[in-house]
Amino acid sequence: MVDLSVNIAGLRLKNPVLLASGTVGYGNEIAEFTDLNKLGGIVTKSLSLKPRKGNPPPRITETPSGMLNAIGLANVGVESFLNDKIPFLKKLSTTLICNIAASSIEEYVECTRILTQEEAIHAFEINVSCPNVKEGGLEFGNDLNIVGRITEKVKAVTNKPIFIKLSPNVSHISDFARVVKENGGDGVSAINTLVGTAFDIYTKQPKIKNITGGLSGPAIKPVALAKVLEIKRNVDIPIIGIGGIMDWKDAVEMMIVGASAFQIGTVNFINPNAGVEIVEGLKTYCEQNSIQNISELTGSYQI
């Protein structure tokens, strides 16, 4: 009998499969296509203190083996989330991680302080790395001091685990993971999307209104693996691996380079049942390879 459960920063997940923020909304739509209760957990669309309208269209475009998006953190805000979205999420028997995005340190703290009172929320993921907003995105995620301060201040208002979602658009991602650890963060999520763009060769205009967007999908998997490995080899901190995972094989690879759990994102848009299929695939892989506990895979690379 394979044990697929993982323990990450004190958070017990029934399996390592999480649905990534911004690719599952608040759970209700994707629940039409998949059984969320079979997953390790879901990470909500980024929440800010007040609702955010997000960027004007076009917001997305397909690129080779990937897609660019510049949604701009469109979300319902903390209050509406608690009133309108939590009732559905509460009924699920899976781990709920709330992703928070903000344009000031105070806003991160305030969101966390309010949300931590909701017992249905098990942990927080702090988004300091959205490439598509003017304030609170990469200008925070690129600054070691600010990432440290956000970690420390947010941690001070909650007892629940805090994961900081890191940007790949930096020279040394492990420096950021270290700062998170030093300031009391429980873990890191890596990676957020890579900044990219695409132009129409006839109109010579950018294909998304924001000009640049976040690149995701299979195209970024090698980058994500390298970043997770870099963190694993340099900092002793739990890692949630993210980036281009499309199936159980990608997931195994992500765990081998150091992830304790992982998130799937873009694939949800194509196959909304991908998470459940990955759980099944992992189970078979473990059985066939005599792995009793899937966490044995984490950081099991042979270099």
Partner 1 sequence: MYVEKSKVESVQKISDNIFLIKVLSPSIALLAKPGQFCNIKVSENSFPLLRRPFSICDIEGDFLFFLFDIHGDGTKLISEKKPGESLELLGPLGNGFDYKEGYDTAVIVAGGLGVAPFPFLVKNLSSNKKVISLIGGRSKKNIVTKGLKNVLAATDDGSEGFHGTVVELLKREIKNISQNKFRIFACGPTPMLKALQNYCVENNYDCQISVECAMACGFGICQGCPIDPTNGESYLLVCKDGPVFEAKSVKL
User: For binding to partner 1 (CB under 8 A), which residues are involved?
Assistant: 22-25, 29-30, 32-33, 45, 51, 53-54, 56-62, 65-67, 69, 71, 74, 217-218, 246, 266, 268-273
Beta bridge partners of 67: 62, 216
Beta bridge partners of 212: 197
Catalytic residues: 130
Closest CB to partner 1 among residues 184, 218: 218
d(CA 165, CA 171): 16
290 CB-contact burial (10 Å; exposed 0-12 / middle 13-18 / buried 19+): exposed
Closest CB to partner 1 among residues 142, 197: 197
d(CA 235, CA 213): 29
List, in order, residues 6 or more apart from 169 with CB less than 8 Å away. 129, 131, 138, 141, 142, 194, 195
> Residue 29 Cβ, how far from partner 1 at the closest point, in Å?
4
Closest CB to partner 1 among residues 25, 185: 25
> Residue 169 Cβ, how far from partner 1 at the closest point, in Å?
21
Q: Is residue 218 reached through a cis peptide bond, with omega within 30 degrees of 0 on the bond before it? A: no
> Residue 30 Cβ, how far from partner 1 at the closest point, in Å?
6
Closest CB to partner 1 among residues 148, 275: 275
User: For the chain, where are the alpha helices, taking DSSP H only?
Assistant: 77-80, 86-90, 105-115, 138-141, 144-155, 173-182, 221-234, 248-256, 266-270, 274-288
CB 278 within 8 A of CB 253: no
CB 245 within 8 A of CB 161: no
> Residue 288 Cβ, how far from partner 1 at the closest point, in Å?
24
User: How far is C-alpha 206 from the geometric centre of its chain's CA atoms?
Assistant: 27
Closest CB to partner 1 among residues 43, 154: 43
> Residue 49 Cβ, how far from partner 1 at the closest point, in Å?
16
**Neighbouring C-beta atoms of residue 198, cutoff 10 Å:** 17
